[in-house]
Every structure is written in structure tokens, then in C-alpha cells.
Amino acid sequence: MKRLFVLVCALGLWAAAWAAPEVNIVPKPLNVETGDGSFTVDAATVVTVGRDASLRSVGELFAAMIEPVTGRAVKVKTAADGAKIALAVDPELGEEEYVLRVTPAGADVRGGSPKGVLYGLQSLRQLVIEGEGTVPAVTVKDKPYFGYRGAMLDVCRHFMPVEDVKAFIDILAMHKLNRFHFHLTDDQGWRIEIKKYPDLARKGSVRKETLVGNLRTSTEYDGIPYGGYYTQKQIREIVRYAAERHIEVIPEIEMPGHGLGALTAYPWLGCRGENYEVWTRWGISKDVFCAGKDSTFEFLQDVLAEVIELFPSKYIHIGGDECPKARWKECPLCQRRMKENGLKNEEELQSYFMQRIEKWLNDHGRNIIGWDEILQGGISKTATVMSWRGSKGGIAAAKAGNTVIMAPNTHCYLDYRQTQQQEFEPLGQVKYLPMRQVYALDPYEQLTPDECKYILGVQGNLWTEYIPDFRQVKHMLLPRLAAIAETGWAYDRKDFEDFSRRMRQFRKVYDCAGYNYATYFFDGKDE
């Protein structure tokens, strides 16, 4: 009888464990403890924010997120009786840390700041949507691993209207990312209004036509002028929208290469000084900013003076990638600059160029980020390197004591195709980057524990040569952005099989938001 009793108890415990609800949060939380019962979120539920006015906007964002489930936006009040979701800032928690507690009586979300509270609400959002309003009793204690978790959108090859940029920001917030890298200038178009140089928008933002088909095989053009730029009022609107979602916008103003948009508007910026046009095809132009003219630096400082007024970000990205040196080799002014400054080669001239701009930005309270080519010729100790040509540039920078953001094309280029079944995809990049490979990113690859401290975080990049509209942006971005988000948030607790299981539920959040996304990963065709 005693053995039977023990067996029954064991079976009861096993059954209870088996029946415990799954908590499928992405990115993976630090700690999850399930409880008994559940809490129902419906139209009668109230979000309470106490006397903290900074939490009201966070609560209203959450109310809008779950409206497809509740039928209307739940009310946000200072206090309420009955079923409620209570929000509070807890100074004992870190800025991005949160604690989410759900009981049958309601939910409580505490964060070290309104940003932390918003992250807790993003987790609660997932549970509300998955359970169609019924949330299991649970305590989630969570915080991110890396401080920098970002994504880049290129609006130069194909322009994205303001509402699409806002939608991109919403997607970043959904994944608990906190940096939006805004790629604003390139050979194919200058996309930001600069009041001192109005032709940047009038002329530099428009190309006369666009290549049709693949860069490597096509010589066909559509014959249709293509353009678009953001006014300074629109930029402020985007920055404000991102700040409400606790995302910092980092602008990128490309130099010394990828500058045909500017050279077309003001030909004196180039070494040749004439006959420039905004590029109609993809790839890299030989024409770059002239490093031998002081007027080039005066122009860029004028541009950056307006940029830093628009963007309060700590960092300004100044490019530095893919800069051909042929024009500099031919330019008497560039060669004289090299001689006067004791520079051995054009790589050191680029280093001179970038460090001169960096000093100006440092003097104005900002730090720079540059693509890993800025390592050529030497960089200052205060520059941050964004490693894109694999991880090798980031590894070298960290070993040299520079801060690094890992965004290697081997794991983080989300414009690469995500299926081997090319017949199902529109024209795009030929390189293949499935979810498993994205998830496999190790930002600490080949680094010692002491060197690891220089890794600020990770970023996904979306270049738009073959992405003409925002529908295709979402298709390429989702669901792979979730893998980058999990590396940034939960690097120390990653497990691909567990991630795959949670993603099967997380896709419901995409569905609820009405996002079109690639289904190959969910169909088991391309992991």
C-alpha cells in the first residue's frame, strides 16, 4: 500500500509538471518560475501607472499592442480597482532590467527605468497574444546581456517613407532592441535635408533611373527618375517616435567613399570636380570625397553640425567602408596632403580623413562608429569599430583595445537570401543565410576574457539594393531578426532547439501585428 501511495504521489507530481504552462518568451528571459492559475486580460483590464508620468506613454504603447486581443485599447490610469496591470519603476533594478509577476489577481511589471518596464510589457504582450488573453501565473526576472542591440536600415538604395521607418522601429522594439542605425547617405541617393546645402536634397537625392535585374548580369535600366529624402521636421519626428519606444537613432553619414549623392549636388567636393551623377546601379563608385581640400572638411563639418542638432545619440556613424583610392592617387591635392602630413600611402590618408572628422565630433560631444575598414592606416583609441567583413575586423579592434559592435555579414546580413529554394524568392542577393547560421553568431569568437569587455553588442543589417518596398523589408527581416535579438539579449543562455520551440509561439506576435514574414524556418525547410 505504501509503495502504491508513493507511486500515486509521483504520478501526481509528474502530471502537474507535465501540465505546467510553457512560457515562450523571445528573447529568452534570464529566469522564469511558473505558478498556479492564470490571469485574463480583456477590455475591462486597466493598466495603472501611479503618479509616474513617464510610465503613461509606456502603458499606452502596451494598450495598443494588445488591442487585437482585447478588442479595444485598455485604459491607462493612475490607479484602479479590480483586474489590473500595475507598472512601476524600481531603483533597485538596472536600467534595462525588469521583473514581471502574473497571478490570478493581476500582473505587476517593475523595471529599473521606463525602458525596463517597456521590456517587461513586451514579454507580457507575447504571453497575452499566445494565450489569446489568458496569461499563466508566472514570475519572470530578466535583463539583457549586451548593452548595444541594434539593426540597420538602408534607405539610400530604396527610400522608405516615414511611416515605414516608424514601422521598422516598432519591429525593433518588439524584439527588445535599443539602437536604430539609420543609413542616410550613399552613392545612390542623399536622404537627409541639410539647410546650409539645399542641393543635397534637391539634386543629390534623385537618380535618373535604376538598374533592372542583377548587378552582375544586367545592363537594363528602367528609365524612371527615383528619389526621396527626409526633411529635418520628419527626422525629428522619427527620432521622437524612437525615443518613445526607448530606441536611440544613430545616423550614418558616409565618408570618404559612397558619396556620389553629395558630389552630384556639389561637384567641388570631389577630386575631379565635375561630371558626377547619382549612381543608377549598385556597387562601389571610384569617385569619393577629396581628402586634399580643406573645403571638403568644412562641408562635412557643416553637415555634421546640423546632424548632431537632429540626433541626440552618443554615436554618429561616419562610414569609412569600401573607399577606392584611385582618385586620390591621381589627385595633386591629395598627394600634397600626404606629403605635408608624412603619410606613407592612401590608407594612411583615409586614416587622417577619419581622425580629423572624429576630432571635430569629439569636440562637439559625440563619438564615432566606423565600418571595419577604418582600421586600415590606424585609428584612434576612441573610435568604435562595426565589424562587417566577417568578425576578423572586430577581433582585431578588440585586441587593440577599441570598442566593437559585431555585425558580420556571415551572420547578420539579413538581405542575404533565407532559403535555398530560390524559385520562391524575388530577385536578391545570392548568399544564403538561414536562421541557424544567424543564431550561431558568437560575438566573443577568438577573444580572451579581458578582450571580451570591448564588445559592446551586436547588430543586424538590411541593405536594400534588391528590397524595393517595406513589405519586402519585413519578409527579409522576420523572423531572422529574432535570432540576432536573442544573441544580444541572452548570449549566455542560447540554445537553438529551445529557441526554435519558442519561435513557433512567437510567430503569433507577428501575425497579431499583421506582419508578412518568411515562413521557411517555421515550415522546417530552411533552418
φ/ψ (deg, to 5) at 512 = -65, -35
Distance CA 114, CA 90 (A): 10
Sequence letter at residue 322: E
Write out the DSSP string of 170-191: HHHHHTT--EEEEE-EETTEE-
pLDDT digits (tens, 9 = 90+) for 357-394: 999 999 999 999 999 999 999 999 999 999 999 999 99
Q: H helices within 245-293, ranges in order?
A: 260-265
Q: Is 330 helix (H, G, I), strand (E, B) or coil?
A: helix
Distance CA 143, CA 256 (A): 38
Residue with cell 523589408: 473
Predicted confidence at residue 525, as pLDDT, reads 79
Per-residue pLDDT for 19 more than 80? no
Predicted confidence at residue 20, as pLDDT, reads 56
Average pLDDT over residues 513-522: 96
Torsion of the alpha carbons at 126, 129, 133 and 135, rounded to the nearest 10 = -30
Predicted confidence at residue 94, as pLDDT, reads 98
Other CB atoms within 10 Å distance of the CB of residue 43: 13
Q: What angle do CA 404, 114, 99 make, to 5 degrees?
A: 90
Residue 5: which pLDDT band, with cuts at 50, 70 and 90? Answer: very low
The Cα-based distances of 382 to 127, 323, 458 in angstroms read 42, 22, 19
> Minimum mean pLDDT among 115-119, 191-195, 426-430, 457-461: which range?
426-430
> Minimum mean pLDDT among 52-61, 232-241, 416-425: which range?
416-425
Residue 350: which pLDDT band, with cuts at 50, 70 and 90? Answer: very high
Distance CA 107, CA 67 (A): 17
pLDDT digits (tens, 9 = 90+) for 155-185: 999 999 999 999 999 999 999 999 999 999 9
188: cell is: 545612390
| 153 CB burial (10 A radius; 0-12, 13-18, 19+) | buried
140: cell is: 519572470
Predicted confidence at residue 399, as pLDDT, reads 98
Report the share of the chain in percent with pLDDT over 90: 92
Largest CA distance in the chain: 100
Which residues on neighbouring strands pair with residue 457, listed in sequence order? Answer: 148, 405
Residue 1: which pLDDT band, with cuts at 50, 70 and 90? Answer: very low
Residue 21: which pLDDT band, with cuts at 50, 70 and 90? Answer: confident
Q: Which residues of 131-145 are buried (b: 16+ CB within 10 A; e: fewer)?
A: bebebbbbbbbbbbb
Task: List the one residue out of 150, 242, 229, 141 whose CA is nearest residue 190.
Answer: 229
Residue 423: which pLDDT band, with cuts at 50, 70 and 90? Answer: confident
Sequence-separated (6 or more) residues with CB below 8 Å from residue 313: 248, 249, 250, 251, 366
Cβ atoms of 242 and 309 within 8 Å: the answer is: no
Q: Which residues are catalytic?
A: 186, 258, 322
Predicted confidence at residue 16, as pLDDT, reads 40
The Cα-based distances of 237 to 132, 201, 203 in angstroms read 33, 18, 24
Q: What is the mean pLDDT of the chain?
A: 95
